[in-house]
Each structure stands twice: as structure tokens, then as C-alpha cells.
Amino acid sequence: MTPLLEAESLGRTFGARRAVDELTFSLDPGECLALFGPNGAGKTTALRLLAGLIKPTTGTARIGATRLPDLAARSRVGLISHRSLLYDALTARENVHFSARLHGLTDATAATTRALEALRVGDRADVPVRALSRGLQQRVAIARAIVHQPDVILADEPYTGLDESGSAALTGLLQERRAAGAALIVVTHHLQEGLALATHAAILRSGRFARYERAAGLDLLRYAAEYRELVA
């Protein structure tokens, strides 16, 4: 069976800086990779490459059989960026609905409501995003990213700004997608947060995997200690 998400010596340089350096890995349906690494390690760049937002300087990324940034591939990806990707003059509902339409959902309105409810911002859905607090905006941003129920979810520090209930909602949502056979990559600086969901864990350092393993057997404290010295 072909993996759902596949990167082959995927790399990107900015000027002289190798932000991402020939990454090779793949995820099957239902797998979730927790991606850790120090600031500037290349995590965001890696996700942007896998979302087809920027062109790789080396290698390729595939969703199922199709290569990025092909249309068919893009349609299956959902990116939770660390920018909201929202139009702040429009309301939460309008933003999510627009995204739903762009993805060709036939029941865009229903899907929009569902997504907003899932993140518990239904009651604030009709004010301009501009007027929402940061955490509420983050919820809308997530709703926008997953309204089309993508097979591949790329989440860049998705818990940023979320309170307890928001985090719970997000975790629930990611687990649900995973159970439905989606492949996830979650970037975060909180090992615990990341490992809670993960089937695999990886540590990125200056663009390369310093570690990549199954999350099953991992002991949080040991892993944390090793991470610390690995990065130092």
C-alpha cells in the first residue's frame, strides 16, 4: 500500500541557509508524527513544503500517488499555519465558508457550522475576525483549515493561544481525523502535548532529523532529557 504522505530527500534553502535538508520519511493513514525541534530548526519550512506553499530546492513531496503542488494533492491537505490565514474584515463564518467553497464542498454551510461548533466558537461566529481575541482567532483559523476534512493535517504549533477547552477541542478533533484515517504532523515545543497524539516522534535540528522513532515505547521524562542534550 502506498503511504498517504511521503517526502523524498525534501530540502529547501534560503540563500545559503539550509532550512530543510533532504528529509525523507512517510506517514500511513492513521499515523501522527510529533515534530519537535529548536527555534529555526526548519519545522515550519518543512510543513510549508509539504503543503505545497513553497517550492523545494531538492526532492519531492507526495500525497498518496500525486505530487505536490498538484491540485489533487493540495485538495487533501489542511494546513494550520502560525498565521491565521483569515480575512479580518470578514466574520468567522464567512472565512470558513469561503474556504469550504474553495474546496468544492457541496454542503459548505453545514460543514462551516460543524467546524465552528467543533472548536466552540459558534457563538462568536458572526463578528468580524478582527474583533476576536487571539485564542478565538486561533480557533477560527483551525476551523478554516479542517473544514474540508483533509486526509493530511499539517499543524504548526496549533495549540498556540488556546485555553483548556480550546486545546481539548483541538485534541479531540485531531484524534477523530486520525481515527478516520488521516495522517497528521503536529509541530510543537511541548513534548507532552505532542506525544499525547503521536504514533511517531521526530526531532529536527538544523533541517535534519536528529531522531525519528515510534512514539509507542517512549518515556516522556527520558525523552525530554535526551531532547535537551541533543539540542544543546
Ligand X SMILES: Nc1ncnc2c1ncn2[C@@H]1O[C@H](COP(=O)(O)OP(=O)(O)OP(=O)(O)O)[C@@H](O)[C@H]1O
- Binding interface with ligand X (CB under 6 A): 14, 17, 19, 37, 39-45, 131-136, 161, 163
CA distance 171 to 48: 22
Q: Which is nearer to a second copy, 96 or 183 (CB)?
A: 96
Provide the residue count of the chain: 232
Q: Draw the binding track, 63-92, toward a second copy (x: CB under 8 A; -: no contact).
A: -------------------x----------
Per CB under 8 A, contacts with a second copy among 90-149 are 124, 131-136, 139
What is the Cα–Cα distance from 204 to 131, expressed in whole angstroms?
36
Which stretch, 71-79, 90-98, 153-161, 175-183, contacts a second copy (CB under 8 A)?
153-161
Q: Which of 81/188 has CB closer to another protein?
A: 81
**Residue number with CB closer to ligand X (47 or 147):** 47
Between 66 and 160, whose beta carbon lies closer to a second copy? 160
Q: Give residues with Cβ within 8 angstroms of 181, minimum separation 6.
A: 29, 30, 151
Q: Is 71 in the site for another protein (CB under 8 A)?
A: yes
Binding of a second copy by 222 (CB under 8 A): no
Classify residue 143 as exposed, middle or buried by CB count within 10 Å of its CB (0-12, 13-18, 19+): buried
127 makes contact with another protein (CB under 8 A): yes
- When the beta carbons of 39 and 106 are compared against another protein, the nearer one is 106
With vertex at residue 134, the alpha carbon angle to CA 186 and CA 172, rounded to the nearest 5 degrees, is 40
> Which residue in the set 8, 38, 59, 85 belongs to the binding site for another protein (CB under 8 A)?
85
Do the beta carbons of residue 186 and residue 32 sit within 8 Å? yes
CA distance 59 to 44: 17
Q: Which residue matches cell numbers 541533543?
A: 230
For 120-194, list the strands marked E by DSSP.
Answer: 152-156, 183-187
Q: Does 150 bind a second copy (CB under 8 A)?
A: no
Cα(181)–Cα(38) distance, integer angstroms: 29
Q: Tell me the residue nearest to Mg ion as measured from the CB.
A: 44
Residue placing its CB nearer to a second copy in the complex, 73 or 141:
141
Q: Which residue is nearest to ligand X (CB)?
A: 135
Q: Does 113 bind another protein (CB under 8 A)?
A: no
Across 123-171, the runs of DSSP E, i.e. the strands, are 152-156
Q: In angstroms, how far is CA 130 from the centroid of its own chain? A: 23
Residue ranges in contact with another protein by CB under 8 A: 13-18, 51-55, 69, 71-72, 74-75, 77, 79, 81, 83-90, 94, 98-99, 101-106, 124, 127-128, 130-132, 144, 148, 206
